[in-house]
């Protein structure tokens, strides 16, 4: 025993039990997801009994018109929301990093990050009330409400990576461009924009994922018949969990993993 310890040496970083707990934690994080994925390929009706591999539930989900509609709606909302939030977040990031301190900048930070601090249910309730007023006043029931709400809460997610990118970018590059006769617009087009592009792409991807995932705000804001994929799934739950929902979940999970992996790889290349 003593011999063993001597040979192993003393590791400063070692604390007993930490590794075991950590591995348990990873197991706990992935086991349920793994179960979900596996059962989505179950051939049987039951979600308890394994009856062999099958893509039948994917087929069922694919042919389900309600799922199709919800998927298209989710993609439309997420695309608009990520585009709008990325554009305004890019402008705001430029406005809060490419200059010295000015009065009101802290307030702007706080306002931009506000959706991260207020519980989603509160924002959802607030939007329900506000949009109900507009719906009554204008009679318009369309997707614009969902797009506006999603764009707003995606702003901080798009803003943070763009701002991080800009903060890592020295102002001297823009000064060098100005020194070499580039007008402010040329400086932006030729120097600032290309250099901040990885941040913008990251921000847009995060905003897209966040919008695609939202349940609570969508549930409160949507008009009748405007289910997105998550609210559709939540609604299905009243009839008990079905393998079809498992299949949809797995597909969504796959999309998330693909986007995140792309994000991860993009990030690594940058360093």
Partner 1 sequence: MRNGVLGNRQPSGLEIEARRQTVRNYLLLCTPALLLLLLAASGPLLIVVVYSFLEPGEYSGVVWRFSGEAWFNVLFSRDIFDDTVSLADAHLTILWRSVRLSLLTTLLAFLLGFPTAYFIATRPASQRPMWLFLITIPFWTNLLIRTFAIMEVIRNEGILNTLLQALGLIDSPIQILYTDTAVTIGMVYVYLPLMVLPLYAAMERLDFRLVEAGYDLYASRWQVLRKVIIPLVKPGIVAGTILVFVPSLGAYVTPRVLGGGKNMMLGNLIELQFGQGRNWPLGAALSMTLLVIVAIALAYYVRSASKSDAND
Partner 2 sequence: MEGLSHKAESPPRGQEAAVTAVEARGVTKVFGGGNDAVIALDAVSIAIRENEFFTLLGPSGCGKTTLLRLIAGFDHPTGGNIVLYGEDISPLPPYKRPVNTVFQNYALFPHMTVAENIGFGLSMLGRPKAEIDDTVDAMLRLVRMEELKNRRTSQISGGQQQRVALARALAPRPKVLLLDEPLSALDFKLRKEMQIELKRLQHETGITFIFVTHDQEEALTMSDRLAVMSQGRILQVGSPREIYDHPADHFVADFIGETNFIDAEIQQVEADAVTIRLPSEKTVRTPLPEDFQPRKQVSLAVRPEHADLTRQPAEGQLSGTLENVVYFGTGTNYFVRLPDGSEFVVRVANRGEGNGDYRVGDELGIAFSANAIQLLRD
Site residues for partner 2, window 176-235 (CB under 8 A)?
A: 176-183, 186-187, 190-191, 194-195
Q: Of the listed pieces 90-98, 131-139, 166-174, 263-271, which binds partner 2 according to CB under 8 A? A: 166-174
246 near partner 1, judged by CB under 8 A? yes
Interacting positions 3-42 with partner 1 (CB under 8 A): 10, 12-26, 28-33, 35-36, 39
If contact means CB under 5 to 8 A according to the sort of partner, which of partner 2, partner 1, none does residue 186 touch?
Answer: partner 2
Q: How far is the CB of 201 from partner 2 (least distance, A)?
A: 14
If contact means CB under 5 to 8 A according to the sort of partner, which of partner 2, partner 1, none does residue 151 touch?
Answer: partner 1
Q: How many Cα atoms sit within 13 Å of 230 on the Cβ side? A: 19
Mask: binding to partner 1, 196-215, rule CB under 8 A, as x and -?
A: -------------x--xx-x
Could you tell me which residues are beta bridge partners of residue 53? 42
Interacting positions 213-242 with partner 1 (CB under 8 A): 213, 215-216, 220, 230, 233-234, 237, 241
- Closest by CA to 88, choosing from 155, 146, 184, is 155
Which residue is it, tokens 């949009």? 131
* Total residues found in the chain within this entry: 271
3 near partner 2, judged by CB under 8 A? no
Q: Total number of residues binding partner 2 (CB under 8 A)? A: 18
175 near partner 2, judged by CB under 8 A? yes
Q: Which residues of 64-94 are buried (b: 16+ CB within 10 A; e: fewer)?
A: eeebebbbebbbebbebbbbbbbebbbebbb
If contact means CB under 5 to 8 A according to the sort of partner, which of partner 1, partner 2, none does residue 117 touch?
Answer: partner 1
Q: How far from 148 is each of 5, 217, 228, CA to CA, in Å?
A: 62, 11, 15
Could you tell me which residues are beta bridge partners of residue 42? 53
Dihedral class, residue 101 (left if φ above 0, else alpha if ψ from -120 to 50, else beta):
beta
If contact means CB under 5 to 8 A according to the sort of partner, which of partner 2, partner 1, none does residue 12 touch?
Answer: partner 1
129 near partner 1, judged by CB under 8 A? yes
99 near partner 1, judged by CB under 8 A? yes
Q: How far is the CB of 195 from partner 2 (least distance, A)?
A: 6
Mask: binding to partner 1, 51-70, rule CB under 8 A, as x and -?
A: --------------------
Q: Which is nearer to partner 1, 72 or 110 (CB)?
A: 110
Q: Which is nearer to partner 2, 169 or 251 (CB)?
A: 169
Instruction: Determine contact, residues 221/128, Cβ cutoff 8 Å.
Output: yes
Q: Which is nearer to partner 2, 256 or 267 (CB)?
A: 267
């Amino acid at each position: 025993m003593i011999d063993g310890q001597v040979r192993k040496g003393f590791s400063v970083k070692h604390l007993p039990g930490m590794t075991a707990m950590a591995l348990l934690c990873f197991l706990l994080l992935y086991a349920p997801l793994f179960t979900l994925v596996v059962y989505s390929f179950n051939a049987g009706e039951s979600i308890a009994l394994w009856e062999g591999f099958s893509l039948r539930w994917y087929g069922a989900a694919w042919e389900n018109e309600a799922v199709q509609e919800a998927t298209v709606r989710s993609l439309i909302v997420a695309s608009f929301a990520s585009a709008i939030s990325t554009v305004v977040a890019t402008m705001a990031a430029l406005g809060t990093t490419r200059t010295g301190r000015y009065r009101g900048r802290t307030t702007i930070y706080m306002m931009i990050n506000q959706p991260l601090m207020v519980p989603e249910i509160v924002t959802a309730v607030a939007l329900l009330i506000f949009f109900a007023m507009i719906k009554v006043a204008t009679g318009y029931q369309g997707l614009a409400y969902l797009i506006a709400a999603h764009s707003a809460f995606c702003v901080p997610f798009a803003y943070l990576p763009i701002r991080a990118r800009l903060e890592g970018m020295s102002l001297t590059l823009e000064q060098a461009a100005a020194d070499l006769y580039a007008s402010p617009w040329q400086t932006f087009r030729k120097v600032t924009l290309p250099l901040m592009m990885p941040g913008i792409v990251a921000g847009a991807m995060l905003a897209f994922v966040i919008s695609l995932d939202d349940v609570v705000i969508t549930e409160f804001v949507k008009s009748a018949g405007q289910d997105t994929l998550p609210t559709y799934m939540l609604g299905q739950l009243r009839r008990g969990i079905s393998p079809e929902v498992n299949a949809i979940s797995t597909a969504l999970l796959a999309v998330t993993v693909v986007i995140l992996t792309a994000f991860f790889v993009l990030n690594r290349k940058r360093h």
